[in-house]
Amino acid sequence: MSDRYDQASEPARALLAAFDELQLAEMLAAASARVRRVRDLHREEYGCCAECTHESGVPFSCPTIRTLNEPPVPS
């Protein structure tokens, strides 16, 4: 963890210093739960996205799922 912290940008280090480990763990758990709910809504059904399709037949992976699956953009 120390190496990754050392490689973090100055704003990232300031953000990490503002929270304790428990707060960060709670924030991560909450964010993970939100992503899970989004994935549950945007699930594949018959080759389409169950949430986006309505009557237009949006193919799966929809833009929402593609965005979630993209690697993070380096800062």
pLDDT digits (tens, 9 = 90+) for 28-70: 999 999 999 999 999 999 999 999 987 788 999 999 999 999 9
Q: Catalogue the long-range contacts made by 35-43 (C-beta closer than 8 Å, 24 or more residues apart).
A: 35/68, 38/64, 38/68, 39/65, 39/68
N- to C-terminal Cα distance for the chain? Answer: 18
Per-residue model confidence (pLDDT) at position 75: 63
Task: Give the pLDDT of residue 5.
Answer: 67
- Whole-prediction pTM value? 0.67
How much of the chain, in percent, has pLDDT values that exceed 90? 51
Positive/negative CA dihedral, 33, 36, 42, 43: negative
- Given a cut of 70, whether residue 1 has pLDDT beyond it is no
The CA distance from 34 to 52, in Å, is 18
